[in-house]
Amino acid sequence: MADISLLEAITQALAYEMGVDPNIIVLGEDVAKNGGVFRATLGLLDKFGSERVRDTPLAESMIAGISIGMATQGLKPVAEFQFMGFIYPALDQIINHAARIRNRTRGRLTCPVVFRAPYGCGIRAPEHHSESTEAMFAHTPGLRVVIPSSPARAYGLLLASIRDPDPVIFLEPSRLYRWSKQDVPDDGKALPLDVCFTLRVGTDVTLVAWGAMMKETLAAADALAKEGISAEVIDVATIKPLDIDTILASVEKTGRCVIIHEAPRTCGVGADISAQIAERGLMFLKAPVQRVTGFDTIVPYARLEKFYLPSEQQIIEAVNNVMEFA
């Protein structure tokens, strides 16, 4: 069994589920013959034909809007936005309609769509190819926001997202697309949504992260272990609804928490996690919860973008800070 990348796991999940469920329609810019600009939909056109794998005209609001219409008819559109920076023209359709159709009609119509987009910076692409605005979606009632950080989780969470009866924003960390490989059996087994994954058990500090930042976070945990600091590492995975219980249980055990995300600091998802810990976990905190995040700036162009991204070193420093707090 050959190991596959996160990107290949996405393709594998799409192909698996399209084989099982004839209602799944893949659509977006360049998803058919080209297989997507990252090749996430590679081979689907050949396997499932041009009715089910559809190149759209270049219009993101349209992609979202027609997906909504299709979904209410019992189809399961899995729409790709080429980059997260190009999802904004579709926000009106997503916020004002996709997230609300079920509620608006008291359940008469539903909207089981998956909106996929590569997200995050660090791949030396031009402006607008580096966004991580998951917080906007996390703030929107009626949506789910799911972010995988390994090939296995990409496969299992995408299957779960497609099978979910409600709209899911599925964000794929482009920096991890081809980063590491893993054996991912193509067994159609979904992973659960709405729960965090504890990737590493530890006792001294809880590291909470998601998406591409899992890379630096896991590396930091390794480095810390060598310094004798035992970090528990949590991959949030489903950003909305948030599994705060797993995080709280961990922080109750460790007494310390560092949250890591790539998005700008202000009003990022890290703020909400920190606020919830403050509300419910103040009594067992041994140190203030720290956030290691992207800056409140626009992601710089390729030459400087590496300085935007939170580094392993910054995570280690934050952990050292919370360890030394007295």
Ligand X SMILES: Cc1ncc(C[n+]2csc(CCOP(=O)(O)OP(=O)(O)O)c2C)c(N)n1
At its nearest, how many Å lie between ligand X and the CB of residue 184?
A: 29
Given the DSSP bridges, would you call strands 168-173 and 114-119 parallel, antiparallel or unpaired?
Answer: parallel
| Minimum gap (Å) between residue 47 Cβ and ligand X | 24
Please answer whether residues 52 and 18 qualify as being in contact, where contact means their C-beta atoms are separated by less than 8 angstroms.
yes
- Binding pattern for the stretch 75-114 against ligand X, x by CB under 6 A and - elsewhere: -------x---x----------------------------
- Residue 20 near ligand X by CB under 6 A: no
Q: Is 128 a catalytic residue?
A: no
Report the candidate in 125, 113, 225, 131 with the shortest Cα–Cα distance to residue 170: 113
Q: Is 285 in the site for a second copy (CB under 8 A)?
A: yes
From 23, 43, 61, 194, residue interacting with a second copy (rule: CB under 8 A) = 61
Spell out, one character per residue from 198 to 237, where the chain touches another protein: x when CB under 8 A holds, - when not. ----------------------------------------
Cα 153 to Cα 8, 147, 198, 210, 305, distances in angstroms: 12, 9, 12, 11, 27
Tokens of 321: 């800070």
The C-alpha atoms of residue 218 and residue 239 are separated, in whole angstroms, by 19
Task: Confirm or reject binding of residue 272 to a second copy (CB under 8 A).
Answer: yes
Which of residues 20, 267, 275, 298 is near another protein by CB under 8 A? 298
Backbone CA torsion sign across 192, 193, 196, 199: positive
State the binding string over 68-107 for another protein (x if CB under 8 A, else -): xxxxxxxx-x-------xx--x--xx--xx---xxxxxxx
Q: On the CB side of 182, how many CA atoms lie within 13 Å of its CA? A: 20
* Residue 72 touches which member of ligand X, another protein, a second copy, none, C-beta under 5-8 Å by kind: another protein
Helix (H, G, I), strand (E, B) or coil at 111: coil
By the criterion CB under 6 A, which residues form the site for ligand X? 29, 58, 60, 82, 86
